[in-house]
Amino acid sequence: MKSKVEAILRNTINDLIDKGDIPGIELNDDIVEVPPNKDLGDFATNIAMVMASKTKKAPREIAGIIADAMSSYQEIFEEVAIAGPGFINLYIKPAYWVNILRDIHIQKERFGTSNHGAKKKVQIEFVSANPTGPLHIGHGRGAAVGDTLARILTATGFDVQKEYYINDIGNQMEILGRSVFLRYLELCGQKKPFPEDGYQGEYIKDLASELKQGYGEKLLTYSTDDAIEASKEFAGKKMLDGIRHDLDMFDVSFDNWFRESALFKEGKIENTLSWLKDKGLIYEHDGALWFRTAKFGDEKDRVIRKQDGSLTYFASDIAYHKDKLQRGFKWIIDIWGADHHGYVPRMKAAIEAFGANADCFHALLIQLVSLVRAGTPVSMSTRAGEFVTLREIVDEVGKDATRYFFLMRRCDSHLEFDIELAKKRNEENPVFYIQYAHARICSILKKASKEGLTPDIKNADLGRLTTGDDLGLIKILAAYPTLLISCASALEPHRISFYLMDLASSFHRFYNKNRVISDDKDLTLARLTLIEAVRQVISNALWLMGIGAPEVM
């Protein structure tokens, strides 16, 4: 609805500017807003004030000219009023509002989608945890945010690919191989001191035990290097399988799994380095190879090949991102933990070095999750082997509540995850409050259906939906498509959870005050179409969050 009003306003203003009735200015993207309270209309614009401040004219005079022109859209606006210092307040006719119900009934699960993204190719890379341990709760937040963002971007018309980058080589994998092999040796009765930097977790012992089941004591006959290599292969594969399984259980899927090792196998690292060399963007210094990232706004140049001849992870990352650009993505979104924020400037530098605009790369930084269990903070550290896995949380509180909690705060805000609250099956817990609204509607529809009454948009007399409660619900439904576009533009999925709370609470209030099924058959039929529309939108929004919409609770 907002976009319709905005289109009308835009046309009206441009006509007036062409005629010379009002001063000409460039119109921003956002010219229509929703006023802070209902008395001030359904929509409002401050455009007259903006024009006035730029041209030193009286804002209310300009507002008057625009308001007069807007008033000619009589089928849409009930009233166009000038208020305060120069706001133009727009009141939509009830008969026009109800049209949104027709849209919902026709589009069903597609309601809310748009072509805002114009099929722009966007890649969103997230989770990308090293296969050296199970996913923990921090990965879970990244997974929920990434997956939901991908769904939102798809819904708003982007051509989205979800990718997981597997660091399947390098130091961390070596440590995994050694750690598992040492535990294997213990199982074979050859206990050796466990190194400081080894992985301490119990899961390493589980892997060692599986390794022993697979190989028996055969690894004892291998050279140490070969045994570690075999352990690494075995453990890496097992861990990756486990990660895939955990993500699957969390309703998170990927379109592509990209292995770091493939960059080496396919010569992409070498190609990238020689490309950079041709461009004069790398140089030797102190026996290392440096990339001139400072030239592109980074605070200093970065090493890509160390003195000892081995490559840094940055070398892989630049080759990886060059590959992303070559695959044709116009918008590259990486979801990282906030502790990687220092890495952003050098990655942007790399993107620019490849000739792309730095704006096409966006690192979304996810802040920490602090877990609260019975009032006690639970600390997490992979190294110490003392962490709470995603799987444990999902097993305990369920997938729906877990995803909701991960998505209910802005990404750059620390998240306090209260396990006890997430487990509650009552009003204190927002996710159940929302799901309950959905189940309640299903229950009413079921009862109506037994009486032979079903929502029928073609025959319903929507003119009967005239009370403030009816229209209040309709207005929230009408805001849904705009909400999704704002989530996509700002990369802020948490807005959906606030929207759902608003919609669910409006429905519960409506339910307690009004009867859907009554003796008034026409009103009943009209309201059945209304609540079916509410159900549809709740279901659509929950789907974007990866949360189920139960019919019975």
Partner RNA sequence: GCCCCCGUAGCUCAGGGGAUAGAGCACAGGAUUCCUAAUCCUGGUGUCGCAGGUUCGAAUCCUGCCGGGGGCACCA
- Give, as ranges, the residues between 347 and 376 that touch RNA (CB under 7 A): 365, 367-368
CB closer to RNA, 371 vs 390? 371
Candidate list 110, 341, 373, 521; residue touching RNA; CB under 7 A = 341
CB closer to RNA, 219 vs 399? 399
Within residues 161-180, the interface with RNA by CB under 7 A covers 167, 170-172
Rounded Cα distance, 444 and 106, in Å = 21
Q: ∠ CA 209-214-219 to the nearest 5 degrees?
A: 85
Min separation Cβ 178 and RNA, Å: 14
Min separation Cβ 11 and RNA, Å: 21
Question: Which residue is listed with tokens 């200015």?
Answer: 25
CB closer to RNA, 312 vs 467? 312
Q: Is 83 a binder of RNA (CB under 7 A)?
A: yes
- Number of chain positions touching RNA (CB under 7 A): 83
Both tokens assigned to 505: 């609470």
Span interacting with RNA, options 140-148, 218-226, 389-397, 434-442, rule CB under 7 A: 434-442
Rounded Cα distance, 263 and 341, in Å = 24
Q: Is 451 a binder of RNA (CB under 7 A)?
A: no
Nearest by Cα to 424 from 415, 433, 416: 433
Within residues 123-142, the interface with RNA by CB under 7 A covers 130
CB closer to RNA, 182 vs 411? 411
Span interacting with RNA, options 17-25, 32-40, 220-228, 467-475, rule CB under 7 A: 32-40
Candidate list 17, 288, 380, 453; residue touching RNA; CB under 7 A = 288
Nearest by Cα to 299 from 341, 362, 239, 253: 341
Within residues 36-55, the interface with RNA by CB under 7 A covers 36-37, 39-41, 44, 46, 49-50, 53
- For residues 414 to 433, the per-residue mask of contacts with RNA, x marking binding by CB under 7 A and - elsewhere, is xxx--------xxxx-x-xx
Cβ atoms within 10 A of the Cβ of 292, count?
Answer: 17
- For residues 462 to 501, the per-residue mask of contacts with RNA, x marking binding by CB under 7 A and - elsewhere, is ------------------------------x-xx--x--x
Min separation Cβ 382 and RNA, Å: 10
Q: Is 148 a binder of RNA (CB under 7 A)?
A: no
Candidate list 412, 461, 520, 522; residue touching RNA; CB under 7 A = 412
CB closer to RNA, 205 vs 409? 409
Span interacting with RNA, options 239-247, 298-306, 325-333, 387-395, rule CB under 7 A: 298-306
CB closer to RNA, 329 vs 406? 406
**Residue 161, beta-bridge partner list:** 123
Residue type, 209: S
Both tokens assigned to 130: 């090293």
Rounded Cα distance, 81 and 341, in Å = 47
Rounded Cα distance, 205 and 179, in Å = 9
Between strands 302-305 and 256-259, the pairing is unpaired
Candidate list 12, 89, 148, 389; residue touching RNA; CB under 7 A = 89
Min separation Cβ 548 and RNA, Å: 13
CB closer to RNA, 124 vs 487? 487
Both tokens assigned to 326: 């070559």
Residue type, 307: Q
* CB-CB contact of 544 with 434 (8 Å): no
H or E element in which residue 321 lies: helix 313-326
Nearest by Cα to 368 from 398, 341, 330: 341
Candidate list 29, 196, 308, 519; residue touching RNA; CB under 7 A = 308
Candidate list 13, 16, 70, 87; residue touching RNA; CB under 7 A = 87
Rounded Cα distance, 112 and 373, in Å = 37
Rounded Cα distance, 250 and 247, in Å = 5
Min separation Cβ 216 and RNA, Å: 31
Within residues 231-270, the interface with RNA by CB under 7 A covers none
Q: For the chain, what percentages of helix, strand and coil (3-state, to nearest 5) are there? A: 55, 15, 30
Nearest by Cα to 294 from 303, 286, 285: 303
Q: ∠ CA 116-117-118 to the nearest 5 degrees?
A: 95
